[in-house]
Amino acid sequence: MEYRPLGQTGALVSALGFGAAPLGDVYGPLDQATATKTVHLALDHGINYFDVAPYYGLGLAEERLGVALRGIRNQVFLATKCGRLGVNEFDFSAAGIQTSLEASLRRLQTDTVDLLQIHDVEFGDPNQIVEETMPALQRFKKEGKIRFTGLTGLPLGYLKDLARRTHPDTLLSYAHYNLMVDDLVEVLGSFSQEKGIALINASPLHLGILTDQGPQTWHAAPAVIQEKGRELGALCRRRGRPISEVALRFALDLNDVATTLVGMGRPNEVEANLQVLEAASDFELLEELAALVAPVKNRIWTQGKPENNY
């Protein structure tokens, strides 16, 4: 396993990170035994960065991860989030953030988390996040409940502007560096390096579009994007490579990020992702895929407040 510095935090994290959303039944039902086996397998093979949120399964993912980490909590870098509680439920107030963190700590069965991230900031008011939410996180830091602070969101321009005003330790965006969209480093790369902020890439499979199974029904991408994903998958199958393997290897080749988060819920998913670490990119195939995706390249959906989507 390759380990990379997490910005200026002093932490070293695995280049392949464990996205724990599937533990909350986001991609289909699981049980605790399977979740625990999956977490332990990942940890045994060097994955030490685990990312979760109250939103994933409305607390279920945190609960299952907490059970799986009993007795081995000190072996992982544990990141969770706050501010988003449901599909349309948000609370970025200081009181709400405190309540959320206390509930997360109970579910995760720990006294502290390594990283607390303000979740999907595009749904919030930027002034509230600057003047109320982030100061609450800084207070938690002084109290020893968290070690580092972060922001997560989809729109890169807004995320960058908010980071200028809040000075987080990490920035996480998703679906912005993969076979279909690759503007993450263009927008945030030099900024994050200059500020010493760790950059985290999530959803290298475009939230399921870049898989043979395809995305869940809740996926927000327009039909033309989802159809193009099916075309990319068909091309990879003709070349004898699963699209998920090609897409993950492509994302892991990016050295400008501290870690790339991939959702894992079952042992076979961990095993498949670990195998990709030993694989090499097929650059001829990547050129073919780039030509195929060109008509929709860097097209992304929007979410949150319209004025925050830039």
- Does the active-site annotation cover 56? yes
Residue 217, burial from CB neighbour count under 10 angstroms (0-12, 13-18, 19+): exposed
CB of 285 closer than 8 Å to CB of 239: yes
Residue 115 in 3-state DSSP?
strand
Which residue's structure tokens are 């091309």? Answer: 235
Q: Which of 56, 158, 174, 177 is catalytic?
A: 56
Q: Which residue has the tokens 């004898």?
A: 240
Cβ contacts of residue 186 below 8 Å, gap of 6+?
none
Can you give the length of the chain in residues? Answer: 310
Q: By the 8 A CB rule, do 172 and 117 touch?
A: yes
Cross-strand bridge partners of residue 49? 77
Q: How far is the C-alpha of 235 from the C-alpha of 161, rounded, in Å?
A: 38
Residue in the structure block whose two tokens are 């929709």:
296
Task: Determine whether 240 is exposed, middle or buried from the number of CB atoms within 10 Å of its CB (0-12, 13-18, 19+).
Answer: exposed
What CA–CA distance (Å, rounded) separates 160 from 155? 9
CA-wise closest residue to 61 among 49, 70, 51, 71: 51
Strand-strand pairing, 12-14 and 3-5: antiparallel
**What are the C-alpha distances in Å from 278 to residues 1, 38, 181?**
10, 20, 24
The catalytic residues are: 56
